[in-house]
Amino acid sequence: MSTYHTPVLLKESVEGLSIRPGGIYVDVTFGGGGHSAEILKSLGRGKLYAFDQDEDASHNLPNDNRLQLIHGNFRYLKNYLRYAGVNRIDGLLADLGVSSHHFNTPERGFTYRSDAALDMRMNRLSRLTAETVINEYDPARLSGLFRDYGELREARKLAVSIERARSLQRITSVSQLIGTIEPLAPRQAENQFFSKVFQAIRIEVNHELINLTEMLKAALDMLNPGGRLAVISYHSLEDRLVKNFMRWGDPFIQPVPDLYGQTPEPFTLITRKPLMACEAEIESNSRARSARLRVAEKNPKP
Identify the pLDDT of residue 255: 78
When pLDDT is cut at 50, 70 and 90, the band that residue 2 belongs to is: very low
**Domains defined for the chain, CATH in brackets:** 10-101+208-298 (3.40.50.150), 106-206 (1.10.150.170)
Tell me the pLDDT tens digit for each residue of 80-100: 999 999 999 999 999 997 766
Distance CA(193)–CA(259), nearest Å, equals 48
Between 97-101, 158-162, 275-279, the lowest mean confidence (pLDDT) is in 97-101
Q: What is the pLDDT of residues 23-70, one digit of tens each?
A: 999 999 998 899 999 999 999 999 999 999 888 778 889 999 999 999
Per-residue pLDDT tens for 109-135?
889 988 999 999 988 889 999 999 999
pLDDT at 278 over 60: yes
Residue 3 confidence (pLDDT): 53
pTM (2 d.p.):
0.92
Q: Is the pLDDT of residue 262 over 80?
A: no
Is pLDDT of 1 > 60? no
Residue 254 has pLDDT above 60, yes or no: yes
- pLDDT recorded at residue 64: 94
Instruction: Report angle CA 27, 30, 34 to the nearest 5 degrees.
Output: 95
What pLDDT does 103 receive?
Answer: 67
> Once rounded to an integer, what is the mean pLDDT over residues 251-279?
88
For the ranges 47-56, 162-171, 260-269, the maximum mean pLDDT occurs at 162-171
Res. 260: pLDDT tops 80: no
Q: Rounded CA gap, 59 and 38, in Å?
A: 17
Beta strands in the chain (DSSP E): 24-27, 47-51, 67-70, 89-95, 223-233, 267-269, 292-298
Which one, of 5, 2, 22, lies nearest residue 232 by Cα? 5
Sign (positive/negative) of CA torsion 130, 128, 138, 201?
Answer: negative
